[in-house]
């Protein structure tokens, strides 16, 4: 069904602080629009002071994260044809900012917590000489984690942060992906397992997989990053046989 000429209602969260509330807008759609196009049209035609973050319009910069009909998505990668199809006829499409982060204004939130948490992660420590060589399989494994565009939809989705607000105890899915990327790097010699358990609180994750569901870069956050790290934590702390083996072979590790 063509969307050209269809009048569509939107409800967008406007304002800041306690005054923030949903406001209704109506625009005429064109063919092939994405949600961000509609927000821009509202901004252009009706609300020049509507605050919205965006940059590349290609799903690569991770700026335009929002909750569309209650589902966190990138506005630039969400087709209007899909959103119109999922919204009951006559109902407005609701657009809210990410709810797990402090609100700044309209659709803009403050995601700086993620960067502060990232600063606590020990960087990769490899050989001094930069002639690092490793095979394709080893590279592919960590390459997946580098696909992250830092849209923080996963962090916004994670119930440990969204519902329980454990921002001091838990690093969030994005930073666990970063930890996996460093920890599984073939040339890295740094040990981050005690921090992953204690400071970054990997055990708070209960594998409900919402972060993977929401990732626009298609990273297997749960299976390839978090569970793999959890298994390494098990190796270190919860596997008596491995502990005995380490004692017998005199391997010294930090706990």
Residue 45 or 110 having the CB closest to another protein: 110
x/- track of binding to another protein for residues 2-21 (CB under 8 A): -----------x--xxx-x-
Query: Is 50:14 a contact under the CB 8 Å cutoff?
Result: yes
If DSSP codes are grouped into helix, strand and coil, which group holds residue 61? coil
Binding mask 108-137 vs another protein (x if CB under 8 A, - otherwise)? -xxxxx--x-----------------xx-x
Q: Report CA-CA distances (Å) from 150 to 59, 60, 96, 140, 154.
A: 11, 9, 19, 19, 9
170-199 residues near another protein, rule: CB under 8 A: 183-186, 188
Examine residue 102 and tell whether it contacts another protein (CB under 8 A): yes
Q: Closest distance between another protein and the C-beta of residue 31, in Å?
A: 24
* Tokens 């592919």 found at: 140
Residue 77 near residue 34, CB atoms below 8 Å:
yes
Q: Which of 205, 153, 218, 216 is nearest to 179 (CA)?
A: 205
Nearer to another protein, 56 or 85 (CB): 85
Q: Under rule CB under 8 A, which residues in 48-87 are in contact with another protein?
A: 67, 69-72, 86-87
Q: How far is the CB of 69 from another protein (least distance, A)?
A: 5
Beta strands in 155-225 (DSSP E): none
Q: Would you say the C-alpha torsion 118, 120, 125, 129 has a positive or negative sign? A: positive
Which of 54, 235, 243, 246 touches another protein by CB under 8 A?
235
CA distance 78 to 10: 15
Q: Closest by alpha carbon to 225, among 191, 176, 152?
A: 176
Q: Does 205 bind another protein (CB under 8 A)?
A: yes
Question: What residues make contact with another protein under the rule CB under 8 A?
Answer: 13, 16-18, 20, 67, 69-72, 86-88, 91, 94, 96-97, 99, 101-104, 109-113, 116, 134-135, 137-138, 157, 159-160, 162-164, 166-167, 183-186, 188, 201, 203-210, 213-214, 220, 223-224, 227-228, 231-232, 234-235, 237-239
């Amino acid at each position: 069904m063509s969307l050209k000429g269809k009048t569509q209602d939107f409800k967008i969260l406007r304002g800041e602080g306690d005054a923030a509330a949903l406001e209704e807008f109506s625009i005429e759609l064109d063919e092939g629009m994405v949600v961000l196009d509609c927000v821009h049209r509202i901004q252009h035609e009706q609300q020049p002071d509507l605050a919205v973050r965006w940059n590349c319009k290609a799903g690569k910069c991770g700026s335009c994260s929002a909750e569309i009909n209650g589902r966190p998505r990138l506005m630039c990668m969400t087709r209007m044809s899909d959103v119109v199809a999922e919204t009951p006829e006559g109902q407005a499409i609701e657009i809210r900012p990410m709810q797990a982060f402090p609100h700044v204004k309209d659709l803009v939130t403050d995601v700086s917590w993620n960067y502060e948490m990232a600063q606590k992660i020990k960087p990769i420590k490899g050989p001094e000489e930069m002639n690092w060589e490793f095979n394709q399989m080893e590279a592919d494994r960590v390459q997946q984690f580098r696909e992250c565009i830092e849209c923080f939809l996963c962090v916004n989705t994670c119930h440990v942060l969204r519902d329980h607000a454990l921002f001091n105890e838990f690093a969030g899915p994005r930073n666990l992906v970063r930890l996996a990327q460093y920890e599984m790097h073939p040339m890295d010699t740094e040990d981050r397992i005690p921090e992953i358990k204690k400071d970054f609180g990997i055990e708070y994750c209960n594998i409900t997989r919402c972060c993977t569901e929401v990732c626009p870069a298609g990273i297997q956050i749960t299976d390839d990053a978090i569970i793999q790290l959890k298994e390494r934590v098990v190796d270190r702390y919860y596997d008596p046989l491995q502990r005995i083996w380490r004692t017998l072979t005199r391997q010294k590790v930090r706990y």
